[in-house]
Structure 1
Amino acid sequence: MFINTYAPYGADGIIIRVEADIRRGIPGIDITGLAQEAVREARERVRAAFRNSGFVFPQDRVLINLAPAGLRKDGAALDLPIALAVMTAAGIFPQSGDTEGGELLVMGELELSGRIRPVRGVLAATAAALKLGIREFIVPAENAREAAILASTRVGAAATLAEAAHILAIRRETGSLPPAGLSTDPRAPGTAGTGWGDFAEVRGQERYKRALEIAAAGGHNLLVFGPPGAGKTMLARRLPSIMAPLTPEEAVEVTRLHSLAGRTIFESEGRLISHPPFRSPHHSASAEGILGGGKTVRPGEISLAHFGALFLDEAPEFRKNVIQSLREPLEDRMMTISRADGPVRLPADFQLILAANPCPCGRLGMRPGQGAQGCFCSAEEIRRYWRKFGAALLDRVELRLAVSPPELGQMTKPDGENSADIARRVLYAVEIQRERFKKTGIRRNARMSTGMIDRFCPLSANAETAFRTAAEKLGLSGRAYHGALRVARTIADLEGAESIKTVHILEAIQHRRQGDDPYDVFSAGG
């Protein structure tokens, strides 16, 4: 008999077959199948867990094979399947067929005491197993609700090696796992929208609020720049409060990626992540942390922001190679990591939100009376600072605007529109797009291909004239030209308009005019 387990590899991972054979010889354990250090160390963990759980480890030569043999296996999640495979080969369980284990998947890390520790990637493992017809799972108790999201009640939750052995014994005798008493509604909300704040709490910056509304509705990238105190970060961090909830299919994919990365924020409730993720890494993050990778490839921040937003605060402070490496994922919606044994692909369909000061000292663009002493940066320092973005990346950012700190009169105004009202408009526009792009694989207007733009972005005669005039005046590239049309389509969707009108085109162009030059901050509006 063999037992199935799972090894993370890219977005899907692979199903591993664990086989055990006991033969006469010097007592010991051999593990074959390109086992890495953490897997090889399982020999001692399994032996100690056997003894401390009341089982007698075989006093013979034990051979463990991990198939497919040509793929590296790493991580401690193979401890429990190895232990159960040894128990089966040693005759601790009644034999009932060599292929019975093909319908069962086991995951878990063993402590020396026999206690089972939780592992990452359980939801991803469940999804991969279900594709192969595997319907039953034995997992750590802490991961049981995570597995039950997709596997219903056919989950055995084990806190110790003895419990896992008991569950497997019952399965051998009755033909099915004992009921675990788990219940979960995968459609129920998981991570709740708490702690985001409300747009009404930020006074002024109406243009910036409007740009965030358009970005949330159409999935567009956004750059905002201006002196400190303008509210760039404060408003950007309130973006999740107006974003539309994920569909059930999107929620499964997002939660699966977070499971692969070892995130357990949803496990306490046993539900899917139902709201678009909002990731905000520190500017000291490495390229591997942002893009993904490592000895055992794990999703980076761009994959954890899948179907959500990646917010880079103080964006020019990030390493230049990190910022520039975002260009390909923004275009492909996929991160491809090259490895000697083949490329690993991780989904990365995210929208990029950039916030920046216009210069290294941050004072460029400050008005008199705001406590500013003038910019201390030379023209060369400002150019070097701004060059980190590069024209190629900025060309992929459809919404760009400069902001300045609000004046005292704006600070004393009553609260503006709240997030709930804006979120209703965003959801209305998103539903229009879901219907428009049904069965096309496209989620938002920002992902439209050139052919789709010709089909879904009809312009009135006046709008087309205005657009051509503005495009020629601004010298828009081909990408910027189509990007402005996508933004105009989103603005029209927010109003429920079938065709794109002149007012929609003019607003889209207005959001495109700034951002190529840091000195645009002098034309910033409140």
Structure 2
Amino acid sequence: MNIFSYSPFGYEGSLVTVEVDLRRGIPAVDIVGLADGAVKESRERMRSAIRNSGFEFPLERVLISLSPADLKKEGAGFDLPLALAVLDAQKRADSTEDFPDSSVLVMGELELSGQLRAVRGVHGAAATAMAAGINMCIVSSANADEAREVPGMKVFAADNLRNAFEALYREELFVRGSTSDETSQLPEGAVNIGGVYFPKIEREKDFIDIIGQGRLVRALQIAAAGGHNLLAYGPPGCGKTLALQRFSSILPLLTLQEAQSVTRIHSLAGLLAPHMSLMRVSPFRMPHQSASLEGMCGGGINCRPGEISLAHNGTLFLDEAAEFRSSTLQMLRVPLESGSITLSRAGRTTVYPARFQLLMAANPCPCGNYGVPGRLCLCSARSVEMYWKKFSGPLLDRVDIRIPVVSQEEGESVSSEELRKKIAVAVLVQRTRQGKKNVHLSPQEILDFCPLDAASSAFLEGESNRRDFSQRAVSGCLKLARTIADLEGEKDIKLEHLKEAVSFRQDSGPLTVLEM
């Protein structure tokens, strides 16, 4: 039996071959292969777990080799593979029968009693094993559901060391669990609207609580339908944060392909709940303004994912965005464009997916009263300018929707359920037409899917010259107009769609954002 484990590093990680040699000598356990402190401590946990599970620990000198030898091995997930490798070597030494020469991935932390605990990174480990041709794995019951979601993987869910050892030679006990059906693993209460699935609406996150603010709600509906980035700015207490926090209630559930990568990232971060399989609900991350650059990008010894990767295929909401460090805001530019982030640590490099939708809320100035009728702004022109300089031109150029918000005490409300109906139409059209959201259209796809008539072309050219739009800004207007047309069920972009798109697109200077 060939036993493999997994050493997580970044998004990929590496498979580790576990080999055991029993030889004459003073009884001891030696581990070679760049094992860290947690792996070396496995010797004592493994010894106690084996004895407390009713097995005899070998009375010989035990040499455990973890290869490749130049790769550092970290984490408590090596407990179970080391124990099974020792028991397997002992059984082979005491028997003359033939044993199956198959390969199995093993991950799990052992208690002294022999019971198993969950470990992080199981979904990524199973995916890496499948890519290497290993289609069986033994993990704890708490990790089994996420492992089964890797297509083709056969999983044995073990509660303790004895269960795991009994399954080691019986392939019929392994269960294949993944399915390609888009309706599989839907969360409880999922709603089907025209073939597009949405999560159950939580009462405290329903747009019905937003009084008035029709233009802001409309902007959020467009952003949800097409995946466009959005900046809402206005005085304190005007409702911008309240509305943006409800954004997740109008987002459709993730497709199976999207859910696979999201589940893998959250498993690597140790954020996947026990017994959870696929994360079908779109992530919504809301980091604090004090978040460090490493906390946003990711990093650390094992290159764990940061906030932008945890928001992959979901939403990154920066409340009081101007209070974030300037370096943190500028760091967002590259992943917003590329959909990924490259991290380098200790001579190794990993690439995390980071295709997120950016929502930002900000006050108009440090005191919050700039340009608000009836309120006195206490900020100097210099302080207001420095406040908005954090939003550099290149960053704002990647934000298609910029909307001022004012306080409204009266007006109509619309529920999240009503907003979803048009969003479902737009999402289904985009999936059928190009297989992705409009915000991700390439330059060639913009030409193919966003044609304009003569009047619309003339209007866009005039606005582009008047406002000195960049090429990215022009593309953003076209993609935004395409989304608006999809929301209205129109096949072609009309002039009114383009005018609405341009109205959401403000110039990218520090003060003109406020003045227009």
| TM-score, normalised by the number of residues in structure 2 | 0.91
Change (3 A) 1:81 1:358: same
CA distance in 2, matches of 1:97, 1:358: 75
Identify the match of residue 441 of structure 2 among 448, 456, 471: 448
CA distance in 1, matches of 2:180, 2:463: 53
- Equivalent AA in structure 2 for residue 202 of structure 1: I
Contact 1:78 1:109 in 2 (8 A): yes
CA distance in 2, matches of 1:489, 1:182: 36
Alignment of 1:316-395 (within 5 A): 316-368=322-374, 372=375, 374-395=376-397
Give deviations 1:75-120, integer Å, cap 9, x for gaps: 1111100111011112278676677341x11110112332211111
Partner residue in 2 for 1:491: 484
CA distance in 2, matches of 1:425, 1:151: 33
Change (3 A) 1:347 1:153: closer
Partner residue in 2 for 1:508: 501
CA distance in 2, matches of 1:190, 1:255: 14
Identify the match of residue 215 of structure 1 among 213, 223, 227: 223
CA distance in 1, matches of 2:496, 2:248: 27
Partner residue in 1 for 2:109: 109
Give the stretch that moved more between structures: 121-130 or 305-314.
Answer: 121-130
CA distance in 2, matches of 1:180, 1:495: 43
Give deviations 1:485-511, integer Å, cap 9, x for gaps: 111111111122222221111111100
Identify the match of residue 297 of structure 1 among 292, 296, 303: 303
- Deviation for aligned residue 1:8: 1.9
- Equivalent AA in structure 1 for residue 372 of structure 2: M
CA distance in 2, matches of 1:246, 1:393: 27
- Deviation for aligned residue 1:147: 2.2
Partner residue in 2 for 1:405: 407
Contact 1:457 1:486 in 2 (8 A): yes
- Deviation for aligned residue 1:14: 2.2
Partner residue in 2 for 1:15: 15
Give deviations 1:268-313, integer Å, cap 9, x for gaps: 4x44221221111111212222111110121211111111111111
CA distance in 2, matches of 1:95, 1:399: 72
Q: How many residues align?
A: 503
Partner residue in 1 for 2:211: 203
Alignment of 1:418-429 (within 5 A): 418-429=415-426
Partner residue in 1 for 2:191: none
Contact 2:315 2:358 in 1 (8 A): yes
Give deviations 1:395-433, integer Å, cap 9, x for gaps: 111111111111x3x2xx4x4222112112112111111
Contact 2:148 2:177 in 1 (8 A): no
CA distance in 1, matches of 2:177, 2:263: 22
CA distance in 2, matches of 1:285, 1:70: 34
CA distance in 2, matches of 1:180, 1:434: 29
Partner residue in 1 for 2:254: 246
Change (3 A) 1:479 1:522: closer
CA distance in 1, matches of 2:270, 2:360: 26
Partner residue in 2 for 1:140: 140
Contact 2:130 2:153 in 1 (8 A): no
> Helix, strand or coil: the match of 2:119?
coil
CA distance in 1, matches of 2:355, 2:70: 31
- Deviation for aligned residue 1:144: 2.0
Change (3 A) 1:449 1:151: closer
Give deviations 1:197-248, integer Å, cap 9, x for gaps: 2222101111111111111111111111111111111111111111122212
- Equivalent AA in structure 1 for residue 462 of structure 2: T
Partner residue in 2 for 1:433: 430
CA distance in 2, matches of 1:322, 1:504: 34
CA distance in 1, matches of 2:22, 2:306: 41
Contact 1:136 1:177 in 2 (8 A): no
CA distance in 1, matches of 2:135, 2:388: 54
What is the identity percentage for the equivalent residue pairs of Structure 1 and Structure 2?
A: 47
CA distance in 2, matches of 1:398, 1:90: 64
Partner residue in 2 for 1:31: 31
> Helix, strand or coil: the match of 1:62?
strand
- Equivalent AA in structure 1 for residue 247 of structure 2: L
Alignment of 1:257-272 (within 5 A): 257-265=265-273, 267-268=274-275, 270-272=276-278
RMSD between aligned residues: 2.5
- Deviation for aligned residue 1:53: 2.7
- Equivalent AA in structure 2 for residue 51 of structure 1: R
- Deviation for aligned residue 1:367: 2.6
Give the stretch that moved more between structures: 394-403 or 380-389.
Answer: 380-389
Alignment of 1:48-87 (within 5 A): 48-87=48-87
Contact 1:135 1:151 in 2 (8 A): no
Contact 1:148 1:183 in 2 (8 A): no
- Deviation for aligned residue 1:49: 2.0
- Equivalent AA in structure 1 for residue 391 of structure 2: F
CA distance in 1, matches of 2:126, 2:475: 40
| TM-score, normalised by the number of residues in structure 1 | 0.89
Give the stretch that moved more between structures: 329-338 or 124-133.
Answer: 124-133
CA distance in 2, matches of 1:395, 1:199: 28
Identify the match of residue 309 of structure 1 among 312, 315, 321: 315
> Helix, strand or coil: the match of 1:100?
coil
Unaligned 5+ residue runs, structure 1? none
Contact 2:135 2:152 in 1 (8 A): no
Give deviations 1:121-156, integer Å, cap 9, x for gaps: 122222222223322221112212222334689422
Give deviations 1:312-368, integer Å, cap 9, x for gaps: 111111122111111111111011112344320111111111111111222223332
Give the stretch that moved more between structures: 381-390 or 323-332.
Answer: 381-390
Change (3 A) 1:81 1:503: same
CA distance in 2, matches of 1:259, 1:470: 47
- Equivalent AA in structure 2 for residue 238 of structure 1: R
Change (3 A) 1:471 1:180: closer
Partner residue in 2 for 1:131: 131
Partner residue in 1 for 2:101: 100
Change (3 A) 1:507 1:97: farther
Partner residue in 2 for 1:227: 235
> Helix, strand or coil: the match of 2:361?
strand
